[in-house]
Structure 1
């Protein structure tokens, strides 16, 4: 059986010559076209974020913001504690189920008074 090879047209393949960068060319020169250097603005804007600020309708309520932060922190701590308790309960239940499925009879933990 003959192997079938696709017929490729000459236009499909093209070899591009690699030209390494030289530091002998002046900066701003690209190929045959010279790039004009950018002119500095006569009235430069400040380099901070003040141009994006919007005037506030009402003043900042520091007390309310701190209470909201404390409430969010307390909620996060409670959620973390519940998650840890749930993970430990599931692990204990799995341990007990594994013990029972092995056929053992002393699987229940007895607490000392």
Structure 2
């Protein structure tokens, strides 16, 4: 069975060590990198033409616009339903708080129209 070490409030010197980092050795002059090499690698990385492909059909901008309008209308409908739901919950909460306080005039009664 293992023995447990007691919990000490002050850490001992055995638990802490200072690590010494050595500086990197300089590269020999023959192995130094050309600064233009990094620029060429960056240009190759930014070239996205290798991911392009020919499309079978041209883009249908009218269809895309209609899809965007439909998505916008759907988003607005969700927003309207969310606002209505929040207002309904707020109204029900106020009415419930009024009833729980013991008041009898909590619900607003509208007079009938002649």
- The TM-score range, normalised by the shorter chain, is 0.5 to 0.7
Supply the RMSD in Å over aligned alpha carbons. Answer: 3.4
Q: Which has the higher helix share?
A: 2
Distance 1:65 1:99 in 2: 51
TM-score, normalising length: structure 2: 0.64
Is 1:36 the counterpart of 2:39 in the alignment?
Answer: no
Aligned pair count reads 96
Relative to structure 1, the CA distance from residue 47 to residue 99 in structure 2 (aligned partners, 3 Å threshold; closer, same or farther) is: same
Runs of 4+ with deviation above 6 angstroms? none
Deviation track 1:43-101 (CA, whole Å, cap 9, x = no partner) reads x6484432221211211000000000000000000000000000000100011011011
TM-score, normalising length: structure 1: 0.65
Structure 1: which 5+ runs fail to align? 22-29
Relative to structure 1, the CA distance from residue 53 to residue 108 in structure 2 (aligned partners, 3 Å threshold; closer, same or farther) is: same
Distance 2:89 2:19 in 1: 63
Worse-matched range after superposition: 31-40 or 61-70: 31-40
